[in-house]
Structure formats: C-alpha cells, structure tokens
Amino acid sequence: MQAPVANGASRLRVLLVDHDERVRESLAGLLAIGDRLDVVGLAGEPGRAIELARDTQPDVVVVDPRLPEIDRGRAFIAEARRAAPEARVVVLSWSEGLDESYLTCDADRVVRKTFRPSELVEAIVTTCAPNVP
C-alpha cells in the first residue's frame, strides 16, 4: 500500500537496479529526499531484482541496462514486466544519445546518467503520472 504524502497524493514505490552498489546507495539516498518517492528495494543482479519486483510490486523500476548476465537490459525489462505488470520502467543510460531501442523493448523512459537530481525525480514522477491517484 502506498503511503500518503502531505498533499494527499500517494508516494511512488521505486525499485532500484544497478550493478554498482555505490550507485544504488547514492540513488536511494537521492530519491529518499522529499515526499514523493519510497525506495522499496535495491538489487545488483537480475535474479534478485525480479524477485524484489514480484514481492514489492513497485510503481517504477529504475534500471541500468548494463546488468550482468543479460542482453543490455532488454531481457530484464521483459521479465520485470511479467513480475510487476503495473510497474513503469525507467532506464538509466550512459550513452551520449538516448538509446531509443530501450523504448522499443517496453521501457517507458530513458534518462541519461548525467542527470541532475531533480531531473531523475521528475522523470520518475511524470512517467508514473497516469498511475498516480
């Protein structure tokens, strides 16, 4: 169940998936600031991430596609969709140009990893806007 925030809107539940533990922890700290987002899980490998997606049913999965053991994140996105069908997927990319191929494999948004903190929060909130009461 989503926790209410001061203005009556629900907090969005976020699952963070990145192979680098430092990045996961930094993103979790960043997203915990404010009253819009709750980080419900952190994972560094695909199997654990899918398990967490199934268990927590997040509103959004934020994923770096450079996960080990998968084809640049595309297989993970499909599996995450099966585990948490209502979740949106935001891909974090290091590429200079936003890789539109992630959008064709069912990602909802691609955000460059050179984002400003407010840009990532805004991307998550606006990606989930149709699902936010």
Cα–Cα distance, 18 to 44 (Å, whole number): 5
| pLDDT tens per residue, range 100-121 | 555 546 788 888 777 888 888 9
Lookup result for tokens 């053991």 = 69
| pLDDT tens per residue, range 55-79 | 999 999 999 877 766 655 677 888 9
Q: 19 near 42, Cβ under 8 Å?
A: no
Cα–Cα distance, 65 to 124 (Å, whole number): 17
| pLDDT tens per residue, range 25-41 | 999 999 988 889 999 99
pLDDT score, position 35: 87
pTM (two decimals): 0.83
Task: Identify the structural domains of the chain with CATH numbers, from first to last.
Answer: 12-131 (3.40.50.2300)
